[in-house]
Amino acid sequence: MSRCAHAAAPIGVFDSGVGGLSVLRALRAELPQEDFVYLSDAAHAPYGERTDDYVNARALRVADYLVAQHGVKTLVVACNTATAAAIHTLRERWPSLPIVGVEPALKPAAAASRTKVVGVMATRSTLQSAKFKTLLDKLQGQARFVLQACDGLAGAIESGEAGTAELLCARYVQAMGGFGAMDGQIDQLVLGCTHYPLVGDLLQNLVGPHTTLLEAGPPVSQQTRRVLEQAGLLLPQGIAGTTRLLSTGNTAALGGSALRWLGLGMPVVSAQPDPHG
Each residue's pLDDT expressed in tens, for the chain with a length of 277 residues: 444 568 999 999 999 999 999 999 999 999 999 999 999 999 998 888 788 999 999 999 999 999 999 999 999 999 999 999 999 999 999 999 999 999 899 999 999 999 999 999 999 988 998 889 999 999 999 999 999 999 999 989 988 899 999 999 999 999 999 999 999 999 999 999 999 999 999 999 999 999 999 999 999 999 999 999 999 999 998 888 999 999 999 898 899 999 988 888 888 888 888 754 4
Q: In three state form, how does the secondary structure of the chain look?
A: CCCCCCCCCCEEEEECCCCCHHHHHHHHHHCCCCCEEEEECHHHCCHHHCCHHHHHHHHHHHHHHHHHHHCCCEEEECCHHHHHHHHHHHHHHCCCCCEECCCCCHHHHHHHCCCCEEEEEECHHHHHCHHHHHHHHHCECCEEEEEEECCCHHHHHHCCCHHHHHHHHHHHHHHHCCECCCCCCECEEEECCCCHHHHHHHHHHHHCCCCEEECCHHHHHHHHHHHHHHHCCCCCCCCCCCEEEEECCCHHHHHHHHHHHHCCCCCEEECCCCCCC
pLDDT score at 275: 55
Boundaries of every domain in the chain: 11-102+218-270, 106-215
Contact 157, 18 (CB under 8 A): yes
Q: Which of 66, 24, 16, 9 is nearest to 266 (CA)?
A: 24
Kindly list the catalytic residues.
79, 193
What pLDDT sits at residue 46? 83
C-alpha to C-alpha distances, 164 to 17, 90, 169, 171, 197, nearest whole angstrom: 17, 34, 9, 11, 16
Q: Which residues is 120 bridged to in the sheet?
A: 147, 190
Distance separating alpha carbons of residues 66 and 5, to the nearest angstrom? 13
pLDDT at position 239:
86
Over the Cα atoms of the chain, what is R_g?
18
d(CA 95, CA 90): 8
pLDDT at 72: 97
pLDDT at residue 3, rounded to an integer? 46
Tell me the sheet residues that pair with 11. Answer: 36, 74
Same CATH fold, 106-215 and 11-102+218-270?
Answer: yes
Question: Going by C-beta distance under 8 Å and a sequence separation of 6 or more, which residues neighbour residue 255?
Answer: 245, 265, 266, 267, 268
**Residue length, the chain?**
277
Q: Which fold has domain 106-215?
A: Rossmann fold (3.40.50)
Q: Name which of 4, 1, 31 is nearest 13 in CA terms.
A: 31
- May I ask the CATH architecture of the domain 11-102+218-270? 3-Layer(aba) Sandwich (3.40)
What pLDDT sits at residue 21?
Answer: 95
What are the C-alpha distances in Å from 4 to residues 7, 97, 227, 242? 10, 8, 15, 22
